[in-house]
Amino acid sequence: ADPDSLQDLCVADLGATSVVVNGFPCKPASNVTSDDFFFAGLSMEGNTSNIFASNVTAANVLSFPGLNTLGVSMNRVDVAPGGLNPPHSHPRATELIILLKGRLLVGFISTSNQFFSKVLNPGEMFVVPKGLIHFQYNVGDKKAFAITTFDSQLPGVVIASTTLFGSTPAIPDDVLAKAFQVDQKVVTAIKSKFER
């Protein structure tokens, strides 16, 4: 979890520029309102019209500044049939997932390279230990919808495919060709899918 808070609340002042802290500085208490502790962003279905046919809507400190210093956050994950929330990891949080609609294959890979997975039905949960690569794949014939929760106000996300093949600037082709033991043409072909 994130560091313990030293006061009741510390609504993030996302625009503050004068001080640098680990997290965000607090809004003056006199400016804090009930709206700072309310977030409606997860009530809307995400747009899954993209190459992965999935969408993650984040309720973290950046979208919901009232979470600042509280050590928790949540996402809404929508996955169309056949869609994939691609393999990724969260450097700062363990993830709990609860499936609300549809069917999802969820899994993670441990540091000893063991793959742990389950097909979730509505109401069922899975936990992904901090920092490990995981994914969700819609194996049903309907839209799937899950809520994920994190023990961090800003878990961070490293998406394996876009990190390696879509970084700015790009990782040299020969590094990726060597790493994946393929021809550079294969690297170029994969990179073309993730160009920014």
- Residues of this chain that interact with Mn ion (CB under 5 A) are 95
Choosing from 68, 69, 138, 148, the residue that interacts with ligand GLV (CB under 6 A) is: 148
Q: Does 85 bind ligand GLV (CB under 6 A)?
A: yes
In sequence order, the 6+-apart residues with CB closer than 8 A to the CB of 12 are 23, 24, 25, 26, 27, 61, 65, 66, 67, 68
Quote the CA–CA distance of 156 and 90 in Å, as a whole number.
5
* DSSP H stretches of helix in 82-183: 160-165, 173-180
Question: HSE on the CB side for 57, CA within 13 Å?
Answer: 17
Report the alpha-carbon angle 97-100-101, nearest 5.
125
Q: Interface residues for ligand GLV in 29-58 (CB under 6 A)?
A: 56
Partner touching 85 among Mn ion, ligand GLV, none, CB below 5 to 8 Å by kind:
ligand GLV
Choosing from 26, 77, 159, 187, the residue that interacts with ligand GLV (CB under 6 A) is: 77
Size of the site for ligand GLV (CB under 6 A): 8
Least Å from the CB of residue 54 to ligand GLV? 9
Interface residues with ligand GLV (CB under 6 A)? 56, 75, 77, 85, 95, 134, 136, 148
